[in-house]
Amino acid sequence: MWVEKDNKLYNQYEFKNFVEAFAFMTKVALIAESLNHHPLWTNVWNKVEIWLSTHDAGNIVTDKDRQLARRIDALF
């Protein structure tokens, strides 16, 4: 569930293992590249954390972030 805090959308995803987490990140990367909108994220073993904001709009949450968040959720 995405939470808006400090001008960012945030979500955490948990998987069975590192391979599943990395596969998810690969799919997200392809979507992000197609939208030319790239997340700030971390991965530690089976967890992926993602923060979204639009840098060229002053680091705030915009429709670009919400669109990417919906597409990411569709993968999970």
pLDDT in tens, the chain (76 residues): 999 999 999 999 999 999 999 999 999 999 999 999 999 999 999 999 999 999 888 888 999 999 999 999 999 8
CATH class of 3-75: alpha beta
Q: Where are the beta strands (DSSP E) in the chain?
A: 3-5, 8-14, 40-44, 47-52
d(CA 5, CA 9): 6
The SS3 of residue 60 is strand
- Cα-Cα-Cα-Cα torsion 20, 21, 22, 28, nearest 10 degrees, comes to 110
Which pTM was predicted? 0.93
C-alpha dihedral sign at 5, 3, 53, 18: positive
Indicate the domain borders of the chain.
Answer: 3-75
